[in-house]
Amino acid sequence: MKSLDLNFSPYASRVRIVVRLKHLPVTFEYPQLGLKTPEFKAAFPLGKIPILELDDGTYIPESWAIMEYLEEMFPEVPLSPTDPLARAQMRVLGRCADLHLGPALFPLFVQLKRPQRDDAAIALQIDATRNELAKLGRLLEEYGLPDSRSLHLGDIALVPTIYYVTAVLPLFGVEDPLATAPLVARWWSLVCDVAVIAQTLKEIDDGFRGFLKQG
């Protein structure tokens, strides 16, 4: 199997974490057709990475769909609880990353490369991100941290997004972005202690620092 990947993509990085935790024979490569090209969009209707290519040429887009596929195909290292309520909570954390935190945080990327930053837009997104972090803290209070339950796909989906909270907000003057969400900070220190996550975070960080240096 092959995962079409970019080292600092928050979505591709989730797949990398799952593959490594499960010790799966998946290689990671930047798409040969390039990203955003008409050829790439013609080959893959959603036009985004990650894409998991199976050995028979079938492909799966969307990081959460890929993570669940790998989980169902290779359950030997389980990354989902069995209890239906705990499974629902796992999915809520995944959706929290994709539908709440991500949309609050990622518009700040546009500001990073603008010759003149839009301070009002920046303040709005910083507030929105803090708001979402507070909500996530409340969810974690209810669902528990991965020291009282097993690490699952919901945690893994959140990891790269929280990395970007810690990496991007300081570039806009917020020194300790998790200070206002202590339970998220505690969750973050727990997940960063997982060796595969630390390895993947280093790759995201290297890729993101490289991206910042590009003109």
Q: Which spans of this chain sit near ligand GSH (rule: CB under 6 A)?
A: 9-11, 35-36, 47-50, 62-64
Compute the least distance from the CB of residue 93 to ligand GSH, in Å: 14
Count of C-beta atoms within a 10 Å radius of residue 149? 15
Toward ligand GSH, which CB reaches closer, 31 or 137? 31
Compute the least distance from the CB of residue 49 to ligand GSH, in Å: 4
CB neighbour list of residue 163: distance below 8 Å, 6 or more residues apart: 10, 201, 204, 205
Q: Can you list the alpha helix ranges (DSSP code H) found in the chain?
A: 10-22, 38-43, 63-73, 84-95, 102-105, 107-112, 119-143, 153-168, 182-192, 195-213
Toward ligand GSH, which CB reaches closer, 162 or 181? 162
Toward ligand GSH, which CB reaches closer, 151 or 204? 204
- Would you state the torsion angle of the CA atoms of residues 55, 66, 156, 75, taken in this order, to the nearest 10 degrees? -70
Task: Tell the residue number behind the tokens 């989730």, with chain if given.
Answer: 14
Toward ligand GSH, which CB reaches closer, 63 or 80? 63
Compute the least distance from the CB of residue 145 to ligand GSH, in Å: 24
153: amino acid identity, one letter: L
Toward ligand GSH, which CB reaches closer, 94 or 177? 94
**CA–CA separation, 211 vs 98, rounded Å?**
22
Compute the least distance from the CB of residue 119 to ligand GSH, in Å: 26
Give the nearest residue (CB) to ligand GSH: 48
Toward ligand GSH, which CB reaches closer, 98 or 146? 98
Alpha carbons within 13 A on the beta-carbon side of 109: 15
CB neighbour list of residue 117: distance below 8 Å, 6 or more residues apart: 111
Compute the least distance from the CB of residue 94 to ligand GSH, in Å: 9
Compute the least distance from the CB of residue 208 to ligand GSH, in Å: 11
